[in-house]
Structure 1
Amino acid sequence: MKKIVGYIFAIAILQLFLTFLKRTPYTIEKYYSSNFYLAIQTILTYFNKWTKISIGDVLYVLVVIAIIYKIIQYIRKKEDVLKNISGYVLQTIFQFILFFQIFWGLNNLRVPVSTKLEIDTNYELAELYDLTEQLIQKTNALQYEITKNDSAKVDFEKDLKAFNKASRNGYKKLEDRFDIALIIHSDVKKSLFSSFLTGAGFSGYLNPFTHEAQINYDIPVIGMPVTVAHEIAHQKGIATESEANFFGFLAMNSQEEIDYQYAANLYALKYCLKEVRINNEEKFLQFYDQLNFGIQENISDSEKFWQENKNFSSNILKNVYGNFLKLNNQKDGIRSYNRFVDLLINYNKKYPLP
């Protein structure tokens, strides 16, 4: 019983300490994100960049097997089963929180990009409509320039190596305007759990313990370039989902290849249309009708893919992940992804998009 109480106390103390650290974003930025984290990133990348297989994915499997094996051992002993399992679970939770925060999680507490750029975080509905209109015009123009036919959808070759290279080039172009360290990081890798991710509704993820970024290799190819750039943002210590979306968009929109520009603008447009639809269904339909038919086909293909492959785990895991985000200073939970629109609107007011 003392062991259980001890771990409960340790978890509580750790959470209180993290609550205190939330008040010190500039300290986190200076000493953790800009120094300690970069050192960890460099060391881990040295060990994981040499293989296309995700070491982190393999470790996840081994850890799950070890946990199950340990629990089975406690059950077989038939003595104080509940107490032993409870103590082991609390120990595992404590270790997860501790190492997650040390290796990556404290980036959630760093100075927000909106503060660094001195831009607002809210917007008027009219500003959302203006940006949506702007993105429609840009995306229509790019689609037609690529296909020479407004009814033809844009197709991408599935080339993860090319998407990684484009992302790296994009971040180099962002270095002057943003405080993004051009640190060494491994390429985004194919996830070993792509089928599972598809059913759960996820496109990719970062392993916070190995700093490897993984992509669901089964998703529609049109979404892969920005997803790769999004996950690389996480490798760079950009923790919030809204900011990772923001930098993923900018990295791809800065490319010379108009295919990548199209992928980036389509990505941003879909988020804007989603926000418009939440606020005004009629306005959403008006905007959607302005899209070239080829763009509508790209959007339709993506939505069809997710709907057809969605399973019961999607809502469960997204609720779990949403609560996890809230515990890590992303108060909007799963809606944090959509806060990308807030950033983009206010960034566009200060630094007009091309």
Structure 2
Amino acid sequence: MHKNRSLLLALFLLLAQLAFYYSLRFFPAVVESLYSTGIYPYISKAMRFGLGWLPFSFGDLVYSIAIIMIIRWLWISKKDLISLSRKRYTQLFLSLNIIIALFHCMWGFNYYREPLHKVLELDNEYTTEELKTVVQQLVYTSNKLHEQLQKIDSLPVTFTRSQSEIFDLAPQGFEKINHVYPALDYGNASIKKSLLTMPLSYMGYSGYLNPITGEAHTNAWINNYKTPVLTLHEMSHQLGFAKENEANFIAIIAGMNHDDLHFQYSASIFALRYCINDLYRRDPAAYEEIRPIIKDGIFKNYKELRDFWVQYEGVIEDVSQATYNTYLKANNQPGGMETYSYVVALLVNYYK
């Protein structure tokens, strides 16, 4: 029994941690007050200030080294793991304890904060008629922006800026909306092109936040309408909006309030895509009625993004997406990656 004490303690601590994180979903107001709007803004700004000046991703280097070390440790320990060596399993459980605790302290507690509609005092339900009204507004705005950026209705809007230029412009969007909620005050930027773009593409990801270093990353190969709103999405994660649907909403309102027309267009047609997809599910006849009003060039922009991802489809993407979907559900997002309705609910109740 004495020989097993360290192993049992490490396992107990891991289970206790997991039980504690699960219990947090029942106390969102406490998390919102103490962590998301209390401690985390200082952590976030400190990480962006400390690493934002680096022209490359420090977090990606850490990931790469960690992966190599994990593979090396598994190779060295394979016989001990198979034979259920107490020492190796104690090391494994202790490492998991440290990693999970660090993840939550640096960012992960944000998964358990108050839902965004409560924070912004919005409803989270909407009628089909309200959806139609907002769709019409978005169609008008998207068509107008397309007309300003592309004189030919049937052609897509071109995005020629480099990602670095977009990174420089992106923070301006948050300067326009920090009156909506104090937590939207962005501060120092730390946005990087991922050094792991190739595996990222085959895994089907546009970008990600490194929760340990606070660096926002984009897929370096994406250069289309999605790039500005994608950048704003990852910056929203930096501000503590951990849930994908909430980060999408913050990115949309930041983009639509940006001074730059390309940012406005990116955010507007991104929002429009969510809303017309939802309208099609709710009322196909209404969708068919409004579809001809939308400029063909907007659908060409959607097609550009689809064409980009087609070349990377395969087993790796399927496994990766399934794994991430499970990760989201484990972190207080029961809908997983299917978050359309909540994004639309936020949009409809914000703009109606």
Match of 1:14 in 2: 17
Match of 2:308 in 1: 305
Q: Deviations over 1:110-132 (max 9, x none)?
A: 22221122211122233333322
Measured in 1, the distance between the counterparts of 2:331 and 2:282 equals 28
Match of 1:187 in 2: 190
Alignment of 1:16-55 (within 5 A): 16-55=19-58
Quick one: percent identity of the two aligned structures? 28
Match of 1:265 in 2: 268
Measured in 1, the distance between the counterparts of 2:96 and 2:126 equals 39
Query: In the alignment, is residue 58 of structure 1 matched against residue 75 of structure 2?
Result: no
Alignment of 1:146-165 (within 5 A): 146-165=149-168
Structure 1 residues 160 and 47: alpha-carbon distance in aligned structure 2, compared to 1, 3 A threshold: same
Give the aligned residue type for 2:141: K
Q: Deviations over 1:61-87 (max 9, x none)?
A: 111111111122223669835655544
TM superposition shift of 1:223: 0.6
Structure 1 residues 123 and 81: alpha-carbon distance in aligned structure 2, compared to 1, 3 A threshold: same
Query: In the alignment, is residue 289 of structure 1 matched against residue 292 of structure 2?
Result: yes
TM superposition shift of 1:272: 1.6
Measured in 2, the distance between the counterparts of 1:62 and 1:284 equals 49
Q: Is the contact between residue 174 and residue 184 of structure 2 (CA under 8 Å) also seen in structure 1?
A: no
Give the aligned residue type for 1:99: L
Give the aligned residue type for 1:151: S
Measured in 1, the distance between the counterparts of 2:281 and 2:223 equals 24
Match of 2:170 in 1: 167
SS of 2:338's equivalent? helix
Query: In the alignment, is residue 135 of structure 1 matched against residue 138 of structure 2?
Result: yes
Root mean square deviation, CA, Å:
2.3
Structure 1 residues 40 and 78: alpha-carbon distance in aligned structure 2, compared to 1, 3 A threshold: closer
TM superposition shift of 1:207: 0.2
Q: Is the contact between residue 74 and residue 81 of structure 1 (CA under 8 Å) also seen in structure 2?
A: no
Moved more, 331-340 or 107-116: 331-340
Q: Is the contact between residue 57 and residue 195 of structure 2 (CA under 8 Å) also seen in structure 1?
A: yes
Alignment of 1:202-221 (within 5 A): 202-221=205-224
Query: In the alignment, is residue 92 of structure 1 matched against residue 95 of structure 2?
Result: yes
Match of 1:352 in 2: none
Give the aligned residue type for 2:209: L
SS of 1:141's equivalent? helix
Give the aligned residue type for 1:97: I
Q: Deviations over 1:138-189 (max 9, x none)?
A: 2112111222221221001132233223321111111112132525443311
TM superposition shift of 1:317: 1.4
Query: In the alignment, is residue 108 of structure 1 matched against residue 106 of structure 2?
Result: no
Give the aligned residue type for 2:322: N
Measured in 2, the distance between the counterparts of 1:329 and 1:203 equals 22
TM superposition shift of 1:259: 2.2
TM superposition shift of 1:98: 1.1
Q: Is the contact between residue 41 and residue 211 of structure 1 (CA under 8 Å) also seen in structure 2?
A: yes
Q: Is the contact between residue 174 and residue 180 of structure 1 (CA under 8 Å) also seen in structure 2?
A: no
Structure 1 residues 262 and 183: alpha-carbon distance in aligned structure 2, compared to 1, 3 A threshold: closer
Give the aligned residue type for 2:14: I
Q: What count of residue pairs does the alignment treat as equivalent?
A: 349
TM superposition shift of 1:88: 4.0
SS of 2:217's equivalent? strand
Moved more, 100-109 or 66-75: 66-75
Structure 2: gaps spanning 5 or more residues: none
Structure 1: gaps spanning 5 or more residues: 350-354
TM superposition shift of 1:2: 4.5
Moved more, 38-47 or 74-83: 74-83
Measured in 2, the distance between the counterparts of 1:271 and 1:242 equals 11
Q: Is the contact between residue 250 and residue 264 of structure 1 (CA under 8 Å) also seen in structure 2?
A: yes
Measured in 2, the distance between the counterparts of 1:240 and 1:258 equals 27
Q: Is the contact between residue 226 and residue 249 of structure 1 (CA under 8 Å) also seen in structure 2?
A: yes
Measured in 2, the distance between the counterparts of 1:213 and 1:116 equals 24
TM superposition shift of 1:286: 4.1
Moved more, 266-275 or 32-41: 32-41
Q: Deviations over 1:195-224 (max 9, x none)?
A: 222222211000000000000011242111
Measured in 2, the distance between the counterparts of 1:136 and 1:85 equals 59
